[in-house]
Amino acid sequence: MCTETLRMSVDPSAPMNYVDDDASSGSGDDVNLLDGQNKHQSVTPSGSGRRKRGRRATGDAIVDAMLEIAAASKMRASAIMKSEDRFSISKCIKVLDEIQDTSVSMDDFDLELEEMELVAAAGYYYYNSVTRQPCISSSPSGSCFMAEVLEGHDSVCREMFRMDKHVFHRLCNTLRQRGMLRDTSGVMIEEQLAIFLNVIGHNERNRVIQERFQHSGETISRHFNNVLKAVKSLSREFLEPPPLTTPAEILNSNRFFPYFKDCIGVIDGMHIPAHVPAKDQSRFRNQSGFLSQNVLAACTFDMQFIFIYPGWEGSVADSRVLRAVLDDPDQNFPHVPEGKYYLVDMGYSNMEGFIAPYPGVQCHLQEYKGANQLPRNAEELFNHRHSSLRNVIQKSFNVLKTRFPILKLAPQYAFHVQRDIVIAACVLHNYIRREEKNDWLFAGVEGVTVEELPDIDDQQDVHLASTVQDEVASSLRESIAESMWDNFVNNWNEW
């Protein structure tokens, strides 16, 4: 931009802010703003008495100067960065000194604008250089971060995208081939998925993702919602009924087989912190005192989710959620074949298809720790092994929340989006489990007992089920406990 053009657009008599770099203490915190008249007086050329511009101008001072004449700064910065020479703030300051040394006859106002243009241009360049990810190439915005993750060490991809590289690429291919997402002129599917995974995998706010991927807030929000919808649409494929054969985890254990040979999974409730309007908070406040949505979950012994039903108020008991699901065919809860059953905790009724521990008998694994804690009767033995087998759903919850920390805090989204995030997280959880059995988070809980803290809804459910259902369930539990106890008495080494 030429000085004459800029001068025509500025009224010299109007007040104008300016940064006095000599006033800086060197810490970057002290910036003095003077009006145009004072500034004009301070830079009036006076031969050898003219002040040299200080070399210790800090980033904050430069950025403030940039903000004063943003239009000029952008044009000047663009012109400078297109030159062959490497642009730097030190070179800019050197140019300022040369202007002051050689332009004694220049009109004071022209000199003032040239200086401010250059300082602002330097500020604009400095601002962009410190807020954008470093990138050698001239690729589109966001590709620098993507290249750093996908071309870097495997641990970087695991940390940023919460999955291994080959799983990430396979998921992108799935979404692309099925037409669930499409590449846009500025954002490839890989980057769209990365945006979504960065949000739910780190609970990042929109403005943080804007800086990381160098896109507008609207672009980030649009792609987040598109990916959320696409991943959720995979739920029917990746949240499917369990096989009816005896699970390998039971079949290969003398402690569980043949006693639990007809067990096909585990059911429990998971409380996810929720963000809701003030008028709804009383309904969402659970017995622990915090706002949550109660999520009904069922999983296999391979730590894959079978069924997810989010969105219930935190004040609602687990047993009521299950009964509502069973009474509503539209929820598509997997049918429980005759003779098969799920394991449930004390918060549920012992009824046909759902086997709970014996009430009034210790049932948590930690209660059996330490010396002299062997079970004393069939009921205690049943509860202990029931708890050991049921622990798989605690492992699944642990892996899910560790991978996607957004589930540990209440995200600032509309409630229907919060519900969909839970479903999408479970779909990704299952996808990763199928594609990479040795995933580091799953491997971290293999063979490990995850401590089961007393559940929010761990009081015994009072359920008015039919007498026939109660008798069938009670009879099954009794036969399993007696068979298990007889074998245990004769083979103490099986404990």
Q: For 267-299, how does the pLDDT look when each residue is reduced to its tens digit (9 = 90+)?
A: 999 999 999 999 999 999 999 999 999 999 999
The residue among 18, 81, 80 whose CA lies nearest residue 53 is: 18
DSSP-derived 3-state class of residue 291: strand
Same domain, 252 and 291: yes
Does residue 394 carry a pLDDT above 90?
A: yes
| Lowest mean pLDDT across 128-132, 242-246, 272-276, 323-327 | 128-132
Higher pLDDT, 195 or 185: 195
Same domain, 160 and 208: yes
Q: Are strands 292-299 and 263-273 parallel, antiparallel or unpaired?
A: antiparallel
Residue with tokens 């033995």: 381
Residue 181 lies in a domain: yes
Q: Which residues contact 452 (CB under 8 A, 6 or more apart)?
A: 364, 365, 366, 387, 390, 391, 394
Residue type, 96: L
Residue 120, number of CB atoms within 10 A of its CB: 28
Does residue 406 carry a pLDDT above 60?
A: yes
Same domain, 318 and 421: yes
DSSP-derived 3-state class of residue 64: helix
Residue 137 lies in a domain: no
Summarised one tens digit per residue, pLDDT across range 145-173 is 999 999 999 999 999 999 999 999 999 99
Residue 40 lies in a domain: no
Residue 263 lies in a domain: yes
Summarised one tens digit per residue, pLDDT across range 214-223 is 999 999 999 9
- Assign 24 a pLDDT band (cuts: 50, 70, 90): very low
CA separation for the pair 443, 19 (Å, rounded): 58
Final residue before a domain boundary, out of 173, 202, 235: 235
Largest CA distance in the chain: 109
Apex 248 CA angle, 246 and 251, nearest 5: 65
Apex 297 CA angle, 291 and 299, nearest 5: 150
Same domain, 212 and 257: no
Residue 128 lies in a domain: no
Residue with tokens 């040795």: 438
Does residue 191 carry a pLDDT above 50?
A: yes
Does residue 9 carry a pLDDT above 50?
A: no
- Assign 45 a pLDDT band (cuts: 50, 70, 90): very low
Apex 203 CA angle, 454 and 237, nearest 5: 75
Residue 379 lies in a domain: yes
Final residue before a domain boundary, out of 200, 235, 270: 235
Residue 57 lies in a domain: no
- Assign 3 a pLDDT band (cuts: 50, 70, 90): very low
Does residue 393 carry a pLDDT above 60?
A: yes
271 DSSP 8-state letter: E
Same domain, 434 and 341: yes
256 DSSP 8-state letter: T
Q: Quick one: how far is CA 425 from the chain centroid?
A: 9
Same domain, 181 and 303: no
When pLDDT is averaged across residues 390-397 and rounded to a whole number, the result is 96
| Lowest mean pLDDT across 7-16, 176-185, 188-197, 481-490 | 7-16
Final residue before a domain boundary, out of 209, 235, 261: 235
- Assign 48 a pLDDT band (cuts: 50, 70, 90): very low
Residue 470 lies in a domain: yes
Q: Residue 87, exposed/middle/buried by CB under 10 A (0-12, 13-18, 19+)? A: middle
Same domain, 155 and 254: no
Same domain, 223 and 253: no
Q: Which residues contact 156 (CB under 8 A, 6 or more apart)?
A: 148, 149
> Mean pLDDT over all residues of the chain?
78
Q: What's the domain range around 190?
A: 142-235
Same domain, 148 and 291: no
Does residue 383 carry a pLDDT above 80?
A: yes
Number of structural domains the chain divides into = 2
- Assign 61 a pLDDT band (cuts: 50, 70, 90): low
Q: What pLDDT, on a 0 to 100 scale, did the predictor assign at position 119?
A: 64
The residue among 97, 21, 2 whose CA lies nearest residue 63 is: 21
Same domain, 265 and 375: yes
Same domain, 218 and 264: no
Same domain, 400 and 484: yes
Does residue 254 carry a pLDDT above 50?
A: yes
CB 415 within 8 A of CB 421: no
Q: What pLDDT, on a 0 to 100 scale, did the predictor assign at position 38?
A: 39
